[in-house]
Amino acid sequence: MTRKINAPVIKDMKQAKLQYSRKLPTIAQFDALEHWLIVLRDTDAKQEWPIFPYSAALQKRYNRLQQDRDGGPSVLITDLPNDKACRVALATLKPEQPAFSILTLSRKLINGHRDFHPTELGIAIVGFSPKQSERVAEAVLAAALAAAADMPDYRSKPEKRGRLELVKLHGVATKHGFRRTFAEDAGNALARYLTALPHNELTPALYRERITRLAGEYGWESQFLGIKQLEEKKAGAFLAVAQGSPHKDGGILHLRYQPAGGASTGGLALVGKGICFDTGGVNLKPHNGMVGMHEDMGGSAVALGTLLALTRLKVRFPVDCWLAICTNHIGPDAYNPGDIITAVDGATIEVVHTDAEGRMVLADTLVLASRAEPGLIIDYATLTGACVYALGKAYSGVFTNRADLLPDLIKAGVDSGERVWPFPMDDDYDEALESKFADIKQCSADPGADHILGARFLKRFVKNDCPWIHMDLSGDNHKGGLAHIPTDTTGFGVRFTLNLLLDKKIIK
C-alpha cells in the first residue's frame, strides 16, 4: 500500500524579504543588525579604505590577516567593538573576477555566519561602480538565500536554526529588486531538497505525489503516463527499466506552464532523468557505486526547479516539463544484457549494460517531448561516470545538435557561475553503437567516451530536428558545496538555464 505524504513538498519555501539602498549604512543602521557581510573593492594595501561604519578598525584587522597568509585575499570574520558585538564577514574583491569566483567568495562570507542562523542580515557593497556593485550584490544575495534554504534533516534532534527573514542591502542601485535571483533560488532549493531526500521518502509514487501538489499550487497542467499507458504507447525503452521494480509506480509525468496571453506552441521543453534509486539492475553496482544512488533523479529535480523558476518569473513562452520517473531494481523481471527492446518510435535497441538505464528512460521521453516540435529541448541527467572522469565535479558536460549554440553554452556557464564544457558530437562516434541485431546499441561494451556515446544515443530519439541540449550533470554533487551553494547536493543547472534563456535568448 502506497504511503501518503502529509508534510509540505518542502518544509518551508518562504524566502527572506529584501530591502535595498544605494547608500552605505550609517552607524545606527550598522549597530541595529548583529550580522553583516561586507565586500570591498580590492585596492592597494597601503591605500585607505572608503569611509563606512568601523572601516578603520576593520582595515587594520584585515591587513593583519593578510600579512599572516600567503596567496589571494581571505575572508575576515570578526566581532565589532560595539554594544552588540556585531559579527562581520568581510572580503576584498577585484571586480573583473569571473562569476564563479565571486559566488565562491560569497559562500565563504555567509559561512562565517552559518552557526548563528541569523534572522536578519546586512550586506554592504563598498567601492564599486553601479554596474559592478549590482553584480557583486547579486552573488552575495544568492549565497545568502542558498544558505537559508531548507534541506532534509531526519535526526532525532535536528539542528535548531532561525529562518532568514530580512536582508538589508546597502551600496546598490537596482531597478528589478533581484527578482530573478529569488526565482533561481526557489528553483535551486526545490531541486536540492528533492535530490537529497532518501529513497524511502521519494519512491516514484511519493515523488509524483509531491510534484502533483506543486502543479496544483502553480497552476501547471499535469498528465501522468503510467505503466499501462506506456504499454499502450509501446514505450519499451522506459518499460524495460521500470519492469524490474516490484512496485509498478513508475511513469512519465508531463507538466505544462502556459503564459497568460502567450504563444501556445513552440517554447521550451525540459526533460529530466528521474531514477529514484539505481541499483544498476542485473549489472549490479558495487557498494561504493551504490552510495548516493537516491540522487540519480537529480536531473528531473533540476528540470522541475527550472520550471518553477520560469513560472515565478512569468516568462512569455510556454514550458513543457517531461519527467521520466522510475527505479532501476534488480529482480526476476529486470531487463538483461542482450535483450532487444523496441522504443516508442519503433526503433530497436540492443541492451548491453543494465546500468546504462538513464538513456533508456530518456529515449522514450525525448520522443514524446519532441513530437510537439518545441523551439528548444533541454534534458538534464546524471547520465555517466565518464563525464565525471573527464571534467571532475566542478563542471557539467553539455552536448547539442546545434553547433552554433556552443559559444552561448560556454558563455552561459561562465556568466552564471555554473560552468559547463561541450564535447564533440561527430557522426563517426555512432560506429561504437552499431548493432548486428538491432537499430542501435544502448552503449558500447568497450571502454571509451561513454558520455559522448550516451549523448549520441539520445540524439537518435530527438525527432523533428528540434534544437536540443543535453546536460550530463557531473557537477550535481560536490563535496563542501560549489560556487554559492553550501551543500554537497548542488542543484546544478537552474541558474545556468535561466542565464541561457533570459540573457542569451536562445529560444527563437
- The string of pLDDT tens digits covering residues 451-502 is 999 999 999 999 999 999 999 999 999 999 999 999 999 999 999 999 999 9
Q: What is the pLDDT of residue 259?
A: 95
Give the integer Cα–Cα distance in Å for 345 and 129: 55
Catalytic residue (choose from 61, 108, 285, 402) = 285
3-state secondary structure (DSSP) of residue 32? helix
Mean pLDDT by 10 residues, the chain (508 residues): 56 85 95 96 83 93 80 82 89 95 97 92 96 97 96 88 92 92 98 97 97 96 98 98 96 97 86 98 96 97 98 97 98 97 98 98 98 97 97 98 98 98 97 98 94 98 98 98 98 98 92
Query: 154-172, pLDDT tens digit by residue?
Result: 999 887 777 899 999 999 9
pLDDT of residue 264: 75
Strands 251-257 and 319-328: antiparallel
- Is 285 a catalytic site residue? yes
List Cβ neighbours of 488 (8 Å cut-off, separation of 6 or more).
477, 478, 479, 480, 481
**DSSP assignment of 194-236:** HHHS-GGG--HHHHHHHHHHHHHHHT-EEEEE-HHHHHHHT-H
C-alpha to C-alpha distance for 72 and 438, rounded to whole angstroms:
57
Contact 334, 354 (CB under 8 A): yes
Q: HSE on the CB side for 252, CA within 13 Å?
A: 30
Q: Rounded to an integer, what distance in angstroms lies between the CA atom of residue 12 and that of residue 121?
A: 19
- pLDDT in the model for residue 279: 98
**Catalytic residue selected from 87, 208, 273, 359:** 359
The grid cell for 252 is 512519465
314 labelled catalytic: no
DSSP code at position 254: E
What torsion do the CA atoms of 451, 456, 460, 465 make, to the nearest 10 degrees? 110
The structural domains of the chain, ordered by start, are 17-154+161-173 (3.40.220.10), 183-503 (3.40.630.10)
Beta carbons of 408 and 317 less than 8 angstroms apart: no
Q: What is each CA distance from 155 to 158, 159, 164, in whole angstroms?
A: 5, 8, 22
> Tell me, what DSSP letter sits at residue 431?
G
Asked if residues 49 and 40 have their Cβ atoms less than 8 Å apart, the reply is: yes
Q: Look at residue 1 in the predicted model and tell me its pLDDT.
A: 40
pTM of this prediction exceeds 0.85: yes
Q: Specify the pLDDT at position 115.
A: 87
pLDDT of residue 161: 76
HEC assignment per residue over 93-136? ECCCCCHHHHHHHHHHHHHCCCCCCCCEEEEEEECCCHHHHHHH
